[in-house]
């Protein structure tokens, strides 16, 4: 709280404003809104700057206007970072389907704008290793992707390993902290963990099982791709478990590509 007060004082002084100037400006704002809650007197401004007093939402708005500072930045000084709200949304699960307006109007984020020339849409890839340049894109909801425990993959257009559960062209979020294969009795294919795996031939998403030093990469039963048995650690490295998927549903059949994949892997 004290740091926020210091930041407010430094901002005020950088604009050449005295405490009295701020008081008079706040009175004008309060008059315009017909609400005295928007006003700040000299003592309250001083307490906010030096004693860690927390301004209410009305006074926070007033300070942001007078100091020409985005209210979201001031909130961040107080430990409320709206850029974290997208991640926090997952902590609350309303029962009814709804439209969410939480992330509208949020600041822009830096996202990949240029990829390595070797990036091949036909192959499954680790996106983090393919980014050459980052650009500013207004997609604030993706701020949760900044978590260092996650990496992001792209399912190649010719990778049918988990088809039709994971469609080619999908993006997957991978939790690197879940790099250990777990096995059990799954009630459905949706409960069974999917792993993002790096092999000598490239990356793939699949179910996995391990026996001793051998790891089996299991494809979906409807997939044309055959299971593979590889040496754990040397021929196959589990990068993590898939915990999020973004994919486009299409009515078009991928049968021609599936046949090609079958021929190449058999």
What is the strand order of the sheet 195-199 is part of? Answer: 125-126, 150-154, 171-175, 236-246, 195-199, 202-211, 214-218, 228-231
Determine the 3-state secondary structure of 32 from DSSP. helix
Q: How many domains does the chain have?
A: 2
Cα→Cα distances 196→75, 98, 117, 242, Å? 38, 31, 22, 6
* Dihedral sign for Cα atoms in the order 253, 259, 265, 266: positive
DSSP for 138-159, written as a single string: S-GGGGGGG-TTEEEEE--TT-
Q: Are residues 23 and 155 in the same domain?
A: no
CA distance 61 to 110: 27
The predicted structure's pLDDT at residue 263: 41
* Dihedral sign for Cα atoms in the order 132, 134, 135, 138: positive
Q: Which domain holds residue 158?
A: 119-131+142-265
Q: Are residues 71 and 154 in the same domain?
A: no
pLDDT in tens, 2-17: 799 999 999 999 999 9
In a domain, 58, yes or no: yes
The CATH number covering residue 200 comes to: 2.10.109.10
| Partners of 35 in the β-ladder | none
Q: Are residues 63 and 179 in the same domain?
A: no
Q: Are residues 124 and 203 in the same domain?
A: yes
CA distance 189 to 197: 18
Whole-number mean pLDDT of the chain?
81
Who contacts 89 (Cβ-Cβ below 8 Å, separation ≥6)?
A: 100, 102
Q: Is the pLDDT of residue 106 over 90?
A: no
Tokens standing for residue 203: 């990356």
pLDDT in tens, 108-161: 555 554 556 666 767 777 766 665 545 444 444 455 555 557 888 888 888 999
More confident residue, 166 or 253: 166
Give first-to-last CA distance, the chain, whole Å. Answer: 64
In a domain, 92, yes or no: no
pLDDT in tens, 24-80: 999 999 999 999 999 999 999 999 999 999 999 999 999 999 999 999 899 999 999
C-alpha radius of gyration, the chain, whole number: 26
C-beta neighbour count of 232 within 10 angstroms? 17
Q: How far is CA 189 from the centre of its chain?
A: 25
Q: Are residues 252 and 155 in the same domain?
A: yes
Residues 66, 85 contacting (CB under 8 angstroms): no
Determine the 3-state secondary structure of 47 from DSSP. helix
């Amino acid at each position: 709280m004290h740091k926020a007060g210091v930041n407010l004082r430094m901002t005020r002084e950088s604009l050449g404003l005295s405490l009295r100037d701020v008081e008079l400006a706040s009175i004008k704002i309060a008059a315009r809104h017909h609400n005295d809650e928007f006003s700040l007197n000299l003592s309250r401004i001083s307490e906010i700057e030096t004693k860690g007093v927390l301004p209410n939402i009305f006074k926070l708005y007033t300070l942001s206007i007078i100091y020409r500072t985005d209210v979201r930045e001031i909130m961040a000084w107080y430990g409320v970072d709206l850029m974290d709200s997208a991640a926090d949304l997952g902590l609350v699960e309303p029962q009814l389907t709804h439209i969410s307006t939480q992330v509208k109007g949020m600041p822009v984020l830096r996202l990949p704008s240029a990829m390595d020339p070797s990036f091949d849409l036909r192959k499954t890839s680790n996106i983090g290793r393919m980014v050459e340049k980052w650009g500013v894109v207004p997609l604030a909801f993706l701020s949760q992707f900044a978590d260092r425990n996650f990496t992001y993959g792209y399912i190649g257009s010719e990778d049918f390993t988990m088809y039709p559960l994971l469609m080619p062209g999908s993006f997957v979020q991978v939790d690197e902290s879940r790099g250990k294969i777990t096995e059990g009795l799954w009630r459905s294919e949706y409960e069974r963990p999917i792993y993002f795996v790096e092999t000598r031939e490239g990356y793939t998403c699949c179910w996995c099982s391990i026996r001793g030093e051998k790891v089996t990469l299991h494809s979906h039963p409807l997939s044309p791709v055959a299971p593979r048995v590889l040496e754990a650690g040397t021929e196959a490295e589990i990068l993590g478990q898939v915990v999020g998927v973004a994919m486009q549903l299409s009515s078009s059949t991928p049968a021609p590509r599936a046949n090609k994949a079958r021929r190449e892997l058999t």
